[in-house]
Chains A and B, each alone.
Chain A
Amino acid sequence: MDAVDVSEHYEVTAADNSPSLLSIVLDTNPRAWAALDSSLSLAQAISNILVFVNAHLAFSNTNQVAVIAAHVNRAVWLYPAPQNPSATTTTKDNSGDVQMQDVSAETNSSSASANKYPQFAQIESSVFSSIQTLMAETTVQDLDQVTTQLSGALTLALCRINKTAQSLSSSDTTISNAAPVNSTAPPPVKGRIVVISVSDSEPSQYIPTMNAVFAAAHNQVAIDTIALAGDSTFLQQACFNTNGIFLKASNPQGLLTYLMFGLIPDTEARGSLITPTHDTVDFRTACFCHGKVVDTGFVCSVCLSIFCEPPENAECLTCGTILALGNYGAKPAVIPRKKKKKKKITNGSGREETGSATGTPRP
């Protein structure tokens, strides 16, 4: 009889088995990799990344990956491989279809090995062939660019996550169109972007990068970064804003260890793990007028645009508002601060002062 207990409710919730989509953005700046070559060559790095990709796929057979190269002048898909435009975009998500169409000749030769999980072999061949094409297409003129076009790659990654999420949630389309998805609901796919960065942040890319970052934060997509070289200011902010992990790799040859140790937990596992934190975040921004990274700047009071120096005619370059500069440059009068009485700490405890003279009565 005692077993009948009204207060106890038996709740049946669906187990959290939403798939996890990992997008890897690989900075393929040839100059930076040439500089790194002594400690870690690009080929080694790619094989390390592939092991990491395999580890992610091993977690569950619903997990997915996408690999994108952020090159000096454009962003390129490495996996899934870009396909001929005649193929419809809808079949792109289904990795099986992609392989059936464009590498059917290749699959027989490259992944015929019985020593490898078929999916791993597919990814490997796709990434290797794509990166070879990319390197072959890179011209001398391209090398004039010193930094990497990161924002495009981030946007591509976000688009893919969004597309996957939509194709998952709209398996019966009619209902989801009628009811807009509540933003508080958990997304159907756990998206995550891992950026492998080797170059400095390009100040002119500040606004597109940050737009991508805020879009990621809005969609609960974490951006993780492992910086092998260079000064990636914006990526630090990106990780901070999206609750991602920022790792500065002091020994690039240990890339695999950094990846496997620091970046393997996905957003679900991070709920129960203590993640590596970055204590200092470079919050500096780039100005709108010259694209310089500034410590202190001028901000338009209307549209919040940032300038490194007062704009011409005191007119905001973005919104056109005439701004009055006041007496800028005048030395501020120094008013000595009143000495505050030091508060006495009662009982040696860090208790907050309640304002009452007597302490709380104790029984």
Chain B
Amino acid sequence: MSVNPSLHLAEYLERLPGTTFKKLYQQPSTTFAIFRRMLPHLAKTFVMRMLFLPHPMTLTDLDAWVKPEAKRKKDQSLSILRSLHIVQISAPSKEKPQEIQLMSNFKKSLRLALTGGGNHNSFGVPSSLLVPPEIDLPFLDRYARKKWEDVLHFVVSSVGYKSSVGDGSGPNKGVKELLIAGRLVDRRPNGSLGITQAGFTFLLQEANAQVWTLLLLWLEVLGNNKGSGLDPVDMLSFLFMLASLELGRAYDTNALTEERRNMLPSLVDFGLIYIPQHKRSMFFPTRLATTLTSGGNSLRTISEGVTAATQSAQTSQQALGPLGGSGGEQAGSVVIETNYRLYAYTQSALQIAVLALFAKLNMRFPDMVAGRLSRASIRQAINFGITADQIISYLAAHAHEQMHRTAALTNKPVLPPTVVDQIRLWQLENERMKTTSGFLFRDFTDDKDYLDTARFSEEIGVLVWKNDHARMFFANKHEQIKDFLKTRKRAE
């Protein structure tokens, strides 16, 4: 991920300076969202315990909370809390034990978020206008899904797999520019668009991470562009606010600040919000926006489980089509067996195209595709620039419900270990040869000359390979060796 180091939210946040956090934590909704999204479970427990403490507490007290075997988890939690500027730990000194406390801004805002009250309006002002009856949850889901699939299709189709259900429209021009600027796709010399390695990473992420990736790209592009007059911190806090809005409710655009209102068209392009054509003063957050703070891969939420259960009971045909995960794809549809066969219960041309990147698909049924992973298909994917880790995490994120259940029953990993290992081994096959650029030294006049020089290069750590018999060695830097040889010559 050297191309785009800020594709992940955690990394993006960690790079922000402390003053930015101070600003972010002024809004209860932002504080609430960061708490929910960014912290591991144990860290959340720590924060909650410290939230209503009037005084700082000593670090040794904190140690006493935690079982000795969980010390590593505790240290991890603390370091995350520190990097997000949530806790403050006093410097160690002799007269006073080290103390830990929540940052005052964070504490105040989180308390406000939990108790309600205040006058910050950070959880969105609902619109008082009449909601058009046709805008309901399925409508918003369909809308968000369509928008997001457009974006993904644009990225996928640049590989060369043309989607069969292409609608011709594709995402907006602004989104396209953004994808190019973010180097998810780039312009090839012949004018066509080609996907980059970052683009593959993007495709193989699960929906929630994809949304964040795109949003962070957008923040970065706008942040670099000083003329836009948008403050990245304010935008970030607006995004967090969107995440705490209620799905299916209309909000008032007039209550937003000028800058935030300027962001709305872009958010419409991403499918995060919906603005009715004839009522421009209200907006609806879609599921893409309201699940921004759901952690890692919590696609299988309770409400979705219930929806799926009731819908499959009512109409068995509809069960295939309804809102799946929070994003553009149905949650969990891929089954992979120990014999490398792969089945995906999907109709989505998009998901099929993604699977075709690394699997050889040979059968297609009305609601299912079947294929297998083979050495050739994985090698092809690796040639595209996809890594084994990306493939594996894609398979894990999209594993079928049944895979999860079997894994839970037998206490085994979700993906068959043999397949996971083999995918990695196939990748390693390509990495057997390592190239190092450098210099070959040979034709030494006598043995002593050779041995001295080789020893010297070994001592300064530039020796890569040597062959005493042929009196040759290979070093990746030559300046110091040249000097060494010169001084030797002078001494003679």
Q: Interface of A with B (CB < 8 Å)? A: 1, 3-4, 9-15, 17, 19, 51, 54-55, 58-62, 64, 90-91, 93-96, 112-121, 124, 164, 167-173, 175-176, 179, 181-182, 184-186, 189, 256-257, 260-261, 264-265, 268-269, 271-274
Contacts and interface: CB of A to CB of B under 8 A. Distances in A.
A274 B424 CA distance: 39
B125 interface: yes
Interface in B272-320: 291, 293-298, 300-310, 312-313
Nearest to A118: B246
B67 interface: yes
A274 B65 contact: yes
Contacts of B428: 3-4
A172 B308 contact: yes
Contacts of B66: 272-274
A9 B392 CA distance: 13
A179 B408 CA distance: 13
23 contacts: A11-B417, A12-B392, A12-B395, A14-B297, A14-B414, A94-B303, A94-B307, A96-B247, A112-B126, A115-B118, A115-B120, A116-B116, A117-B29, A118-B246, A118-B249, A120-B116, A171-B308, A172-B308, A182-B409, A185-B409, A272-B66, A272-B74, A274-B66
A121 B124 CA distance: 13
A274 B49 contact: no
B45 interface: yes
Nearest to B428: A4
Interface in B125-152: 125-126, 137
B214 interface: no
Contacts of A64: 302
A59 B73 CA distance: 17
A260 B431 CA distance: 52
A54 B32 CA distance: 11
A114 B424 contact: no
B35 interface: yes
A186 B408 contact: yes
B296 A15 contact: yes
Contacts of B420: 9-12
Instruction: Identify which of A12, A59, A184, A256 gathers the most chain B CB atoms within 10 Å of its CB.
Output: A12
B425 interface: yes
B32 to A, nearest CB: 6
A54 B114 contact: yes
A10 B48 contact: no
Interface SS of chain B: helix, strand, loop or mixed? helix
Contacts of A172: 308, 312, 401-402
B45 A114 contact: no
B45 A265 contact: yes
Contacts of B248: 96
Nearest to A262: B49
A17 B413 contact: no
Given A4-B428, A12-B392, A115-B116, A61 B41 contact: no
B305 A14 contact: no
Interface residues of B, number: 88
Given A173-B312, A176-B405, A264-B49, A121 B116 contact: yes
A58 B36 contact: yes
Contact of B295 (A60, A169, A171, A182): A60
A29 to B, nearest CB: 26
Given A14-B407, A114-B125, 9 more contacts: A9-B420, A13-B413, A61-B298, A114-B126, A115-B28, A171-B300, A173-B312, A272-B66, A272-B67
Contacts of B313: 90, 173
A161 B407 CA distance: 23
A10 B405 contact: no
B421 interface: yes
Instruction: Identify which of A1, A14, A185, A265 gathers the most chain B CB atoms within 10 Å of its CB.
Output: A14
A114 B421 contact: no
Nearest to A121: B116
B119 interface: yes
Nearest to B251: A114
A114 B255 contact: yes
B257 to A, nearest CB: 13
Contacts of B409: 179, 181-182, 185
Contacts of B303: 93-96
B115 interface: yes
A59 B413 contact: no
Given A9-B417, A15-B296, A59-B44, A260 B51 contact: yes
A115 B306 contact: no
Contact of B405 (A12, A118, A169): A169
A93 B246 CA distance: 17
B471 interface: no
Contacts of B70: 271-273
A192 B305 CA distance: 20
Given A15-B297, A61-B36, A164-B302, A91 B52 contact: no
B117 A115 contact: yes
A32 to B, nearest CB: 25
Contacts of A93: 302-303, 306
A3 B425 CA distance: 9
B306 A90 contact: yes
Contacts of B291: 61
Instruction: Identify which of A17, A94, A171 gathers the most chain B CB atoms within 10 Å of its CB.
Output: A171
B96 interface: no
Contact of A273 (B67, B395, B415, B432): B67
B298 A62 contact: yes
Contact of B401 (A94, A171, A257, A260): A171
A76 B408 CA distance: 35
A170 to B, nearest CB: 6
A226 B112 CA distance: 25
Contacts of B120: 115
A307 B121 CA distance: 63
Nearest to A100: B248
A264 B402 contact: no
Contacts of A181: 409
B123 A60 contact: no
B298 A168 contact: no
A273 B45 contact: yes
A90 B310 contact: yes
Nearest to B388: A10
Contacts of B417: 9-11
Contacts of B118: 115
Interface in B202-259: 244-249, 255
B248 to A, nearest CB: 7
A93 B414 CA distance: 28
B413 A11 contact: yes
Interface string B102-122: 000000000011111111111
Contacts of A55: 48, 51, 114
A191 B293 CA distance: 22
Contacts of A4: 425, 428
A164 B306 CA distance: 9
B45 A269 contact: yes
